[in-house]
Amino acid sequence: MSTELITMSAAQLAEKLAAREISSVEATQAHLNRIADVDGDIHAFLHVSEAALSTAASVDAARGGGAQLGPLAGVPVAIKDVLCTFDMPSTSGSKILEGYIPPYDATVVRKLREANLVPLGKTNMDEFAMGSSTEHSAYGPTKNPWDLERIPGGSGGGSAAAVSAFEAPLALGSDTGGSIRQPAAVTGSVGMKPTYGGVSRYGAIALASSLDQVGPVARSVLDAALLHDVIGGYDPHDATSLTDTWPSFAEAARAGRNGESLKGLRVGVVAELNGEGFQAGVRQRFDEAVALLAKAGAEIVEVAAPSFEYAISAYYLILPAEASSNLAKFDSVRFGLRVTPEGGGTVEEVMAATREAGFGPEVKRRIILGTYALSAGYYDAYYGSAQKVRTLIQRDFSAAFEKADVLVSPAAPTTAFRFGEKLDDPLAMYLNDITTIPANLAGVPGMGLPIGLAPEDGLPVGIQLMAPAREDARLYTVGAGLETLLEEQWGGSLLAQAPALGVER
């Protein structure tokens, strides 16, 4: 029963909870057991909630009392440590926030609680979401459940690993340049970066404000949609939040399952995101997935996005610039780590010593980059030019969406790489985000979902689907359609093929 409870999809769990075939306490306990069994190896969690079982019990009690609860009530969920939780530490993977418990919940966390989901704990991440491997976490890396020698992607490697190692059915992530989609791709899970402004950023510890977006991580398209329905929508606390009324993403996903939606769908293959430097097995599985879409009646068109070539350069100016300012608040005066130099010091000296001790090398690298890019005399050449590139990329997307309903590319250029492989080569690490960055620069939604294992290494490969801004529902429909076709081929979910972990109970 315990194994069944953890391998079940969130949608199935929710159904059984609603039918009172199982209790939330049982479901929560099963996941806590799984965490106890495997997280020593995986290290997906930085903190496991002590309140999970009592929360689950109160949901069960409410249900027992006849309360009308939301679709995911009683389902456990893991929360990326970038999100503020008033009852758990929120460190964003950094030493500078070690033990910091915010006095408030992020809006998305508040919505989870209001929908009666059960927070299991906080997941590991690259420090302040800067990285593609979780190797930059101040608390040690997370391992890929497919191969413990390999990275689970980043920055949201903790959330992706938790879901793919069956430690949680659902997780929240945040995506600034691919931090939801790339980990999903390399762990065989599903991750969605919503339209910028579709999900509140309030209480998400900011990396780059104009790029950050919170989104769902799950093992199926429908599960991601169900979670997106809970966390999405307008938030008056976030001025960049969209006031749109959103359709039900779960309905959109369910509608996609019959495959009808793929007939006549115009699928644009982005030439610039599938070329040199992409692993052969990644390209192979991607081409097969595109062929599968064509077989289902989709019309495949090649689209050009000439400005995507400059996306990484622009991104690595805009992100550090905004980050250098966003991270200035970590100065020891009001919260977090405080390091006083020997023999005391002025406030400036204390600030400097704290930041020296509290930030890791990647964070320092980006603060220096960003500070430089914003400096008087360099602003126009760097930040100003990067913003122009951003406009050009948005135009490329507009032109491409004239020809295609969705755009597709591999979700990442390679499968999971080995620990240490790119740690000393920041540029190689940055290039791993080449496929995912354009969607952040343009604010359009992007989804990563598994399309098979690369023949050469047996590791998961993901596809990225992108739609015009506000068309998140389209991705759920198309994603569910493709997922259904693939699972028919595989005879089940890809994750069923993942190696066993820890001890079976």
Partner 1 sequence: MSAAELMDYDKALELFEPVLGFEVHVELNTRTKMFSPAPNPANEEFHAAEPNTLIAPVDLGLPGSLPTVNETAVRYSISLGLALGCQIAESSRFARKNYFYPDLAKNYQISQYDEPIAHDGQVEIELEDGTLFQIPIERAHMEEDAGKLTHVGGSTGRIQGAEYSLVDYNRAGVPLVEIVTRPIFGAEHLAPQVGKAYVSTIRDIVRGLGISEARMERGNLRCDANVSLRPRGQEKLGTRTETKNVNSFRSVERAVRYEIQRQAAILAAGGTIIQETRHWHEDTGVTSPGRPKSDADDYRYFPEPDLLPVVPSPALIEELRAALPEAPAVRRRRLKEQWGFTDLEFQDVLNSGLLVEVEETARFGAAPAQARKWWTGEIARIANAQEVEASSLVSPQHVSELIALVENGELTDRLARQVLEGVIAGEGSPSDVVKSRGLAVVSDDGALIAAIDEALASQPDVLQKIRDGKVQAAGAVIGAVMKAMKGQADAARVRELVLERASQV
Closer to partner 1 by CB, 92 or 142: give it.
Answer: 92
Of 86, 180, 84, nearest in space to 125 by CA: 180
Structure tokens at 405: 């309903």
Of 298, 304, 291, nearest in space to 267 by CA: 298
Closer to partner 1 by CB, 51 or 347: give it.
Answer: 347
Task: Provide the CA 173 distance to its chain's centre, in angstroms.
Answer: 4
Coil, helix or strand for 9? coil
Closer to partner 1 by CB, 318 or 461: give it.
Answer: 318
How buried is residue 53: exposed, middle or buried, by Cβ count under 10 Å (0-12/13-18/19+)? middle
- Max distance between CA atoms of the chain, in angstroms, equals 73
80 is catalytic: yes
Question: Distance (Å, rounded) from C-alpha 139 to C-alpha 144?
Answer: 16
How buried is residue 376: exposed, middle or buried, by Cβ count under 10 Å (0-12/13-18/19+)? exposed
Closer to partner 1 by CB, 369 or 463: give it.
Answer: 369
The one-letter code for the residue type at 182 is Q
In the complex, least distance from residue 51 CB atom to partner 1, rounded to whole angstroms: 20
In the complex, least distance from residue 374 CB atom to partner 1, rounded to whole angstroms: 4
**Active-site annotation holder among 24, 92, 133, 155:** 155
3-state SS string for 177-214:
CCCCHHHHHHHCCEEEECCCCCECCCCECCCCCCCCCE
In the complex, least distance from residue 458 CB atom to partner 1, rounded to whole angstroms: 39
In the complex, least distance from residue 13 CB atom to partner 1, rounded to whole angstroms: 29
Question: Distance (Å, rounded) from C-alpha 194 to C-alpha 238?
Answer: 15
**Active-site annotation holder among 179, 200, 241, 307:** 179
Q: What CA dihedral angle connects 98, 101, 105 and 108, to 10 degrees?
A: 20
In the complex, least distance from residue 336 CB atom to partner 1, rounded to whole angstroms: 8
155 is catalytic: yes
Closer to partner 1 by CB, 124 or 324: give it.
Answer: 324
- Kindly give the residue spans of alpha helices, DSSP state H, lying in 10-79: 10-18, 24-42, 52-64
324 is catalytic: no
| DSSP notation for 222-267 | HHHHHHHHHHBS--TT-TT---PPPPPHHHHHHHHTTSGGGTT-EE
Closer to partner 1 by CB, 100 or 490: give it.
Answer: 100
Question: Distance (Å, rounded) from C-alpha 494 to C-alpha 380?
Answer: 47
Closer to partner 1 by CB, 258 or 375: give it.
Answer: 375
Tell me how many degrees the CA angle 147-153-159 measures, rounded to the nearest 5. 95
- Residues of this chain that interact with partner 1 (CB under 8 A) are 83-84, 90, 92, 97, 100, 102-104, 106, 201-206, 208-210, 236-240, 321-322, 324-325, 328-331, 333-335, 347-348, 351, 371, 374-376, 379, 383
90-125 b/e with 16+ CB inside 10 Å = b?
bbbbbbbbeebebeebbbbbbbbeebbbbbbbbbbb
Closer to partner 1 by CB, 97 or 171: give it.
Answer: 97
In the complex, least distance from residue 397 CB atom to partner 1, rounded to whole angstroms: 19
Question: Distance (Å, rounded) from C-alpha 254 to C-alpha 73?
Answer: 19
In the complex, least distance from residue 126 CB atom to partner 1, rounded to whole angstroms: 16
**Active-site annotation holder among 16, 80, 122, 422:** 80
In the complex, least distance from residue 334 CB atom to partner 1, rounded to whole angstroms: 5
Of 131, 176, 162, nearest in space to 425 by CA: 131
Catalytic residue positions, numbered: 80, 155, 179
